[in-house]
Amino acid sequence: MSAPAPHYDVIVAGAGNAGLSAAIVAAEAGARVLVLESAPPAYRGGNSRHTRNFRCMHEGPLAVLTGRYGEDEYLDDLMRVTKGKTDADLARLVIRNSPDCLAFMRAHGVHFQPSLSGTLSLSRTNAFFLGGGKALINAYCNAATDLGIAIAYETEIRHVVVGEGGGFEALEVEVAGERRIVAGRTLVLAAGGFEANLDWLAEAWGPAARNFLIRGTPYNRGAVLRDMLDQGAASVGDPTQCHCVAIDGRAPKFDGGIASRLDCVPFSIVVNKDGRRFYDEGEDVWPKRYAIWGRLVAAQPDQVAFSIIDAKSADLFMPSLYPPVTADTLAELAAKLGLPAAALEETVAGYNAACRPGAFDPTELDGLATEALAPAKTNWARPINEPPFCGYMLRPGVTFTYLGLKVDESARVMGPRGRYPNIWAAGEIMAGSILGEGYLAGFGMTIGAVFGRIAGREAAAVANA
């Protein structure tokens, strides 16, 4: 006796940008679609919920985008930040399809706004979602509902059942502590990375990883990724690579999002818990350096550091989530931050003595460097001597991981015996197929949008065939 035919043509794992894009395209192609999401409705949308924009190629001014951002310039930017560790063919595929994504988003209720105040440098390259990523997710979920797509929340996928023939047959899911089986014809994996899985991070990074903060959703625990890798799916990306930035150390363990970002480092000195400096704070403009500071802080004792500024620099950067710790003397500030006062005073005195006169310009590399100081501060080096003094605690904040599933240009996942006939992947779970390291702001959402749409189209075609 044969098993009953599965009710769903396409099952999508994860209700983020990539998953919902796939679901909508598949449903519009006539497929019956089910989306499984481990989070409750309030936390649907994974890390996409926290985003603000996506990077979009355009030949001339387009919607909120100014000027022109062509394919080659886009690819060059990508090559530079990834130090050439980019799959150029897949990257070009993403770049060329990005303008269609803008049209797709608008057609499905996503609205855009001019680049936010404080982010003018992105007005040409990145299209900002009005209301941010959660507004995009809301629009997609409404579009999905209107298309008759079923979304099952609080349903965690635990295991992908691959049959004798090497194809996907069903999913083992957990709902309210109970295991269930859901059968389907095709599967799109869009369940994000494993950045919220501290055990897994600790495997790659050592125990220090347990002190990291996770900037996004607590639900991206990588259960699907681990299960696929255990079954022999091909992997790409370095497990020890993750996008990790220095954020406000007072932010919550998970889900602090964009607001926990701190932009004060270039105008400050950064000391570790012993009150000692450890890196050039003024090496480059902040957008080009923020992503190395996560690792720098991660390498310090207890994975913590403190950014110290004085009154004249207090207003030079975007406002912070929480007000800084302030004090009228360095000793008092040290006490409030839990730093050794004598060491902090000594570090600041040494730094101040190494500062040289010159013109300070917060908007560009001003060459105002310290002299005979190790490590040097090569730009924006002004003495820290005007009370009140301010301090921010910094901790590493993980944005996303790179280890993922290897896919081809049709988003098909590679298995132990070649491509799976009916499994596709989109978004962060396969982003390692394109980027090996580094990151270009707004590219994560573009990958999800492009590959999500490809996966949805292909899965629907196979299911309907």
Partner 1 sequence: MTEIATPASAATDEARRQAEICNACRYCEGYCSVFPLMFRSRTFADADIVELANLCHNCRGCYYACQYAPPHAFALNLPRALAEVRAESWQRYAWPSALARLFQRSGVALVVAIVLAVAAIFLAMGALRPTGGRGFYAVLSHGAMVAIFTPLFLLPFLAMARGLARYWREVGGERVRLADLAAATGGAARLDNLAGGHGEGCNFEAGDRFTNTRRFAHQATAAGFLLCFAATASGTLYHYGLGWEAPYSLFSLPKLFGVPGGVLLTAGALALGLLKVRADPDLGAPDLWGGDIAFVLTLALTGATGLMLYAAGGTPLVPVILALHLGTVAAFFLTTPYSKMAHAFYRFAALVRDAQRRR
CB atoms within 10 A of CB 401: 30
| Contact (Cβ atoms closer than 8 angstroms) between residue 24 and residue 140 | yes
Residue 445 to residues 29, 78, 182, 186: CA-CA distances in angstroms? 23, 14, 28, 23
Q: Which of 175, 208, 258, 341 binds ligand FAD (CB under 6 A)?
A: 258
CA-based torsion, 443, 446, 450, 456: positive or negative: positive
**Closer CB to ligand FAD, 53 or 303, in the complex:** 53
Question: C-alpha angle 348/354/357, rounded to 5°?
Answer: 115
Q: Which of 444, 450, 455, 462 binds ligand FAD (CB under 6 A)?
A: 444
| Phi, psi (degrees; rounded to nearest 5) at 348 | -65, -40
| Contact (Cβ atoms closer than 8 angstroms) between residue 463 and residue 185 | yes
Please identify, among the stretches 36-44, 78-86, 292-300, 330-338, the one whose residues bind ligand FAD according to the rule CB under 6 A: 36-44
Q: Which does 98 bind (CB under 5 to 8 A by kind): ligand FAD, partner 1, none?
A: none
Instruction: Report if residue 45 touches ligand FAD, rule: CB under 6 A.
Output: yes
Counts of helices then strands in the chain (DSSP H, E): 10, 19
At its nearest, how many Å lie between ligand FAD and the CB of residue 434? 11
Please identify, among the stretches 211-219, 230-238, 341-349, 355-363, the one whose residues bind ligand FAD according to the rule CB under 6 A: 211-219
Helix (H) or strand (E) holding 35: strand 33-36
| Contact (Cβ atoms closer than 8 angstroms) between residue 313 and residue 268 | yes
At its nearest, how many Å lie between ligand FAD and the CB of residue 190? 5
Residue 82 to residues 119, 188, 241, 438: CA-CA distances in angstroms? 22, 27, 12, 5
What character string, x for contact with ligand FAD (CB under 6 A) and - otherwise, covers 54-93?
x---------------------------------------
Q: Please tell me whether the peptide bond between 416 and the residue prior to it is cis, using omega within 30 degrees of 0.
A: no
At its nearest, how many Å lie between partner 1 and the CB of residue 100? 21
**Closer CB to ligand FAD, 37 or 169, in the complex:** 37
CB atoms within 10 A of CB 259: 14
At its nearest, how many Å lie between ligand FAD and the CB of residue 252? 12
At its nearest, how many Å lie between partner 1 and the CB of residue 218? 11
Q: Which does 219 bind (CB under 5 to 8 A by kind): partner 1, ligand FAD, none?
A: ligand FAD
> Which residues are near partner 1 by CB under 8 A?
42, 49-50, 52, 111, 113-114, 116-118, 129-135, 138, 142, 252, 255, 257-261, 315, 318-323
What character string, x for contact with ligand FAD (CB under 6 A) and - otherwise, covers 378-417?
---------------------xx-----------------
Helix (H) or strand (E) holding 74: helix 71-81
- The answer for 406, left when phi > 0, alpha when psi is -120 to 50, beta otherwise, is beta
Q: Which does 135 bind (CB under 5 to 8 A by kind): partner 1, ligand FAD, none?
A: partner 1
How far is Cα 74 from Cα 125, in angstroms, rounded to an integer? 8
**Closer CB to ligand FAD, 2 or 117, in the complex:** 117
Contact residues toward ligand FAD (CB under 6 A) are: 13-19, 36-39, 44-48, 50-54, 156-157, 190-192, 215-217, 219-220, 223-224, 257-258, 399-400, 427-428, 442-445, 448
